[in-house]
């Protein structure tokens, strides 16, 4: 079965690969130098995907428009499930996927405090939250600069 990465507005096929795995398709697209600005990636499970050098600003994940030069940050394995945490920088703020959790960074922080308190996994997730905040501060500055110039 072919997987296609399509443009979020035009629907044009930006990359296609004969595989049933979106992660492998996306990795192949990145490795081949495909330009994925505006790609529609909603529902894509990118845990473990190697996306070094991918330009994904303007792509959509779960209906949210990605912003910044490095809008995707993956950390792990960590936490009680030894799983990967995916943080994406969007026009509406930072979104997080970790295990069965999907939501904003502040919602994730509250869920961690409630579930793990100050235990080992709570401390590990707290460190990950700090990393996500630092990443967002570094890589979304050009978005803020562009808005200010407009």
- Name the pTM for this structure: 0.65
Mean pLDDT by 10 residues, the chain (150 residues): 73 78 76 72 67 67 81 89 90 91 95 95 96 93 58
Give the pLDDT confidence score for residue 100 in this predicted structure: 86
Give the pLDDT confidence score for residue 104 in this predicted structure: 96
Distance between CA atoms of 67 and 41, rounded to whole angstroms? Answer: 14
Distances 145 to 15, 43, 90, 99 between C-alpha atoms, Å: 31, 30, 15, 34
Give the pLDDT confidence score for residue 78 in this predicted structure: 93
Give the pLDDT confidence score for residue 118 in this predicted structure: 93
Distances 35 to 14, 26, 55, 113 between C-alpha atoms, Å: 8, 11, 7, 39
Give the pLDDT confidence score for residue 122 in this predicted structure: 95
Give the pLDDT confidence score for residue 136 in this predicted structure: 94
Judge contact between 88 and 61, C-beta under 8 A.
yes
């Amino acid at each position: 079965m072919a997987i296609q990465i399509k443009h979020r507005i035009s629907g044009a096929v930006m990359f296609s690969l004969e595989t049933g795995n979106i992660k492998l398709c996306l990795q192949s697209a990145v490795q081949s130098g495909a330009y994925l600005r505006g790609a529609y990636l909603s529902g894509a499970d990118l845990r473990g995907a190697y996306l070094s050098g991918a330009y994904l600003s303007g792509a959509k994940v779960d209906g949210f428009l990605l912003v910044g030069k490095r809008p995707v940050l993956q950390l792990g394995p960590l936490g009680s499930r030894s799983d990967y945490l995916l943080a994406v920088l969007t026009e509406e703020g930072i979104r997080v996927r970790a295990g069965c959790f999907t939501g904003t960074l502040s919602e994730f922080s509250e869920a961690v405090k409630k579930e793990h308190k100050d235990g080992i996994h709570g401390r590990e997730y707290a460190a990950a939250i700090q990393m996500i905040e630092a990443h967002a501060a570094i890589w979304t500055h050009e978005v803020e600069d562009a808005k200010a110039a407009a």
